[in-house]
Amino acid sequence: MTQVPEQYAIFPVINATLNGLSAVLLYVGRGFIKRGKMSAHRNLMIAAFTSSVLFLTSYLYYHISIYLKHGSATVHFQGQGWSRLVYFTILLSHTVLAVVIVPLVIITLSRGLRSKFDKHRAIARWTYPLWMYVSVTGVVIYFMLYHLFAA
């Protein structure tokens, strides 16, 4: 396993926290729109977007910095047996959907902010569950890698 340099050890915690915060904001924001509270919904969706952008910025900074200074940005999963299959299945689906979700979030947010509500609702039906999945599985991956199956 590649050891994370001490000065970067906080970044996985920050990243998991931002992912978890995004999930909570998404969930609460969706509840607001179901109750017709459009302004609160808009504010929480913007906050979820901001949290996700902060996550992505922190994630990239963390991995690029470690790679440039130490030559590797990988922490290897230490689990064995069934846990490896579960972990890598979650990681693969999370990674693929994290790429897919970026344009979906931008389009969904853009349509909502421009008051194109019919088009916003049509794509939000897809964006919400995928974004929620990516946010939640980011936290799951963190716990599996750094706590449940840490070296």
Residue type, 110: S
- Mean model confidence pLDDT for the chain: 94
Spatial CB neighbours of 48, under 8 Å, sequence gap ≥ 6: 22, 25, 26, 29, 131
Percent of the chain with pLDDT over 70: 97
Structure tokens at 91: 């990681």
- Bigger pLDDT: 71 or 143? 143
Q: Tell me the pLDDT band of 1, cut-offs 50, 70 and 90.
A: very low
Domains by residue range for the chain, with CATH: 6-148 (1.20.120.80)
Is the pLDDT assigned to residue 3 strictly greater than 70?
A: no
pTM: 0.93
Q: Which pLDDT score is estimated for 133?
A: 98
